[in-house]
Amino acid sequence: MRLFVAVLLLIIGTLELRADAGEPLRYVVGGTWQGRRVDSPSDTSRRLIIYPRPAWDASSSTLAVFDAKQRTFVECAQTLNVLDAAFFHVGILVVHRRDADILLRLLTADGTKTIVDDVRLSRVQGTAGHVAVRMEVSENGTRALVLVGDALYAVTGTAEDASYDMIHAVRISFTSQLIEQGVFAAGFVSSHRGQGVVFAYRLGPVAFLARTDSTMRIVSSHMVPMAEVSRMEQVGSSVILYSSLAEASGCVLTVLDLDNESVLTRSLTVDESRVTAFQRDGARMLAVLTTRSGRPEIVCMPLALSLERMPAGTVIPGDYGSPRMLRAFGDTIVAIFSGGIALVRSTGEILARNTLSTAVPERAELRGADNELLIRSPSFSISLQKINQPLWFVSRSWDALLRTVIPALFVISLGALFFVYRRQRRFLEAIIDTPGAGIVVFIDVNGRLVRVNDRAASLLRITTDVPMGRMFESYMSQPGLEQLRQFIDRVRHSRESHTDRITMSRADETKEYMISSTPILGTLGSSRGMLFSGIDITETLEQRRLVNWAQLAHDMQTNLSTIRLNAEQFRGVDGTGDDERRRRILFQVGVLIDRVRDLLGVARSDVFQRTTVHSAELCTEVRHEFDPAMFPHVTFSMKLRGTLMQADRMKLSRAVRNAVENAIKALRNQPGTVEISTWFDRSNVFISVSDTGVGMDPETMANMMKPYFSTSNDGSGHGIGTMIMHHVTKLHGGTIRVTSEPGRGTQVVFRIPHGMEPKDKIRSLAAEQVS
């Protein structure tokens, strides 16, 4: 199958190369000449090459006969300064200059001999300077128009005996006639009235277009625009004079009808070299080479219509340089550019378009034949040979395939890829936006953070003002995210999934996450990035630990109950000292049992029972739980400005009690003060526990509220007290503020919303004022 496809592509490529540009015709450069080429109307193999004589070499040849069959050049009239030449009668009519005289000479067809020696045509002023000479020969080859400067002459040749040898025996005589001065365009024309000449000439400040009959008598004259550059051509029974505007862009067309001598004038905004006329189905048409949106376009339209707004034409694809000229041969329009050529039918079909390796000069002429186009100027000529392309439709079909089928397949493929991409994107967005999905972060293959869900945005402190698309490290530079940043950096280049447990902290809260990485592949299998998802397992782990502590507390409760029962039955000998010790033992056992029950309650449920509590009474009760005999080094200070509040008495007492215990531990058995104070405002009740102990450094303060964090080195602390303080405060909807300074002490302030109704608040305030 692969071999078949390869052979098919090879065949198509070969046909494509042979078909070239996908047009029916192709033109290639057949030859170039450093002079003006003139063809014989009767023998297409014989051509004249007229060379301009350089000023520094008066002896160089200026005329040669080129035999296309033999591929030979024969230089002739080497001593003559040939200005123009053409095939005339049975020989070559040469116009040359000798000093101030403009002379005519007739040479044989091969240019080797002279048939008629020099006949003076005119005389110019002075012997120096260039004289422009152009000659045109009639179709039968017996008459010629010679334009010397602006003087137009008619030359007629008469053969005395045409039955002899054309080279040696025929005697031809010349007659010349000055037709008009100031002529700037002229040519032979023919109509049903016969042959004649049409020429344009200046007469003072105006110009005229005149027509003569076969005897060179002027039969009509019409005023035309004055122009420095103009040309004239016959289309059917009309002669069209193209006149360029001297001080404006564009040209004027003067159409002379040879049948009824009527004149039609049209103006265009393009140069006269890019306008041509032709006949189609008996109607006079006009072709214009214009440029729209930077692309060349050939527009064909009836000459009788208004030319102010041109209709759409045929766009020439490709880049062929700046436009040079436009000519028509029948209904085929030929556009010449500085670096290419294009042929278009008047119906809009492109017949050929090719680049040329030889630059085309400006103000050149174009002559056409069956299989050749000739572009010529006074100093340069180019022959373009026509080549038929029988396989042009292959390239055209291939071009159409490239323009339609392949783009359609490409669009379908893009649609399919877009569908798959959108489906994958929706799936990814669904994963990111799924409620309860934990934190979700998507990082592309370059390490840029592209998408996060709300929980991840909150954790990374990404607000709506923070733009996405930066490197992920810039979003994870704050403390507490080091492990997440390290995990992402370690696995983001992998194409496999990874899972790890990390710890992240924010403010005074530390949580543990189970982080997983999932590679995201694109539609074509390339890596798009990595999806990171994390589940908060802090509560699960904490619950497991609390369950273990609850089991231990249950066992302790049983042991404490036994101690309490035995202590109650204990009786001393003298009664006084033993009773006091028994009372203290029972009080401390009761305190321990309350603590164990509190721990059980925290482990079992977050539901608490709100009751009306006076903050000062609660602080007093906590103070009395600490026996001065057991803490003789501690001085307790009470500053109470309490109020009523709605709180869980047992849990809140437990939280304050833990704060007092931590304060006593901070004294390190050294004399110090523990102050318990309370105050309130309109919304909250504040309970403060401060000490004059060792204080804490910033690192210890940052870790203080983490579960199970303890600074005890002897195993007496497990971090449960601090955890309960945080847990109870959170249940009440409050906060804890800790301030500390090493060597100065620590203050822990509980902020608890009072939870009172407005009327109860008024009563509470009134009661405080009365008290």
The pLDDT of residue 8 is above 90: no
Sorting pLDDT into bands at 50, 70 and 90, what band is 436?
low
**Cα 733 from Cα 563, distance rounded (Å):** 37
Number of helices (H) and strands (E) in the chain: give both, helices first: 12, 44
pLDDT beyond 60 at 148: yes
Kindly state the average pLDDT of the residues 256-270.
Answer: 89
Query: What pLDDT is attached to residue 591?
Result: 66
pLDDT band, very low/low/confident/very high, at 193 (cuts 50, 70, 90): confident
What are the strands, taking DSSP E only, across 34-150? 36-39, 46-50, 63-67, 72-75, 81-88, 91-98, 101-108, 114-123, 133-137, 143-148
Residue 737: is its pLDDT beyond 80? yes
Question: What are the start-end ranges of the E strands in 321-379?
Answer: 323-329, 332-337, 340-345, 350-355, 365-368, 372-377
Confidence category of residue 300, pLDDT binned at 50, 70, 90: very high
Answer for the pair 136, 187: CB distance below 8 angstroms, yes or no: yes
Q: What is the pLDDT of residue 169?
A: 47
Higher pLDDT, 603 or 269: 269
The CA distance from 146 to 88, in Å, is 13
**Residues 6 or more apart whose Cβ sits within 8 Å of residue 140:** none
Neighbours of 519 (CB within 10 A): 18
Residues 6+ apart with CB under 8 A from 164: 170
Residue 435 has pLDDT above 90, yes or no: no
Q: Which of the four pLDDT bands, split at 50, 70 and 90, describes residue 165?
A: very low
With contact defined as beta carbons under 8 Å apart, do 528 and 520 qualify?
yes
Residues 6+ apart with CB under 8 A from 157: 88, 89, 93, 106, 142, 143, 144, 172, 173, 174
**Which H, E and C letters describe 347-359, residue by residue?**
CCCEEEEEECCCC
Residues 6+ apart with CB under 8 A from 504: 459, 480, 481, 483, 484, 510, 511, 512, 513
Task: Using DSSP bridges, classify how beta strands 332-337 and 340-345 pair: parallel, antiparallel or unpaired.
Answer: antiparallel
Query: What is the share, in percent, of the chain residues with pLDDT greater than 90?
Result: 23
pTM of the entire predicted model: 0.52
pLDDT at 672: 93
CA-closest candidate to residue 188, choices 150, 220, 141: 141
Tell me the average pLDDT across 614-624: 92
Q: What is the pLDDT of residue 616?
A: 93
- Going by pLDDT thresholds of 50, 70 and 90, the confidence category of residue 60 is confident
Pick from 5-14, 68-77, 419-428: least confident: 5-14
Q: What is the pLDDT, as a whole number, of residue 599?
A: 61
For residue 239, pLDDT beyond 90 = yes
Residue 763 pLDDT > 60, yes or no? no
pLDDT at 144: 92
Query: Is the pLDDT higher at 429 or at 346?
Result: 346
The listed range with the strongest mean pLDDT (184-188, 300-304, 601-605) is 184-188
**Rounded average pLDDT over 316-329:** 90
- Residues whose CB is less than 8 angstroms from the CB of residue 336 and which lie 6 or more positions away in sequence, other chains included: 323, 324, 325, 326, 327, 360, 364, 366, 375
pLDDT in tens, 502-532: 888 776 677 888 888 888 876 666 777 888 8
Please say if the pLDDT value at position 707 is more than 70: no
Band of residue 16 on the pLDDT scale cut at 50, 70, 90: very low
Cβ neighbours around 130 below 10 Å, total: 10
Residue-level pLDDT at 162: 44
Residue 282 has pLDDT above 70, yes or no: yes
The residue written with tokens 């120096």 in the block is: 128
pLDDT of amino acid 115: 86
Q: What is the pLDDT of residue 719?
A: 62
Say what the pLDDT of residue 603 is.
53
Q: Which two tokens stand for residue 715?
A: 């195993």
The listed range with the strongest mean pLDDT (330-334, 402-406, 713-717) is 330-334
DSSP state of 142: S
CA distances from 84 to 157, 175, 271, 422 (A): 17, 18, 27, 76
pLDDT of 680:
93
- Across the chain, what does the average pLDDT equal? 81
The answer to whether residue 702 scores a pLDDT higher than 70 is: yes
Measured distance CA(735)–CA(655) in Å, rounded? 12
Please write the tens of the pLDDT for every residue from 534-577. 888 777 766 666 666 666 665 676 666 667 666 766 665 555 56
Average pLDDT over residues 273-299: 90
Distances (CA, A) of 770 to 272, 612, 763, 764, 765: 114, 19, 10, 10, 9
> Is residue 42 pLDDT above 50, yes or no?
yes
Q: Is the pLDDT of residue 56 over 90?
A: no
Query: What was the pLDDT predicted at 468?
Result: 85
* Segment (H or E) for 752: strand 745-753
Nearest CA among 663, 676, 651 for reference residue 752: 651
Q: Tell me the two tokens of residue 693.
A: 């102990």
Answer whether residue 710 shows pLDDT above 70. no
Q: For residues 748 and 740, what is the distance between their CA atoms, to the nearest angstrom?
A: 9
- The answer to whether 395 touches 21, Cβ cutoff 8 Å, is yes
Compare 101 and 362 and report the one with higher pLDDT.
Answer: 101
pLDDT tens-place string over residues 452-506: 888 888 888 888 888 888 888 888 888 888 888 888 888 877 778 888 888 887 7
Residue 673 has pLDDT above 90, yes or no: yes
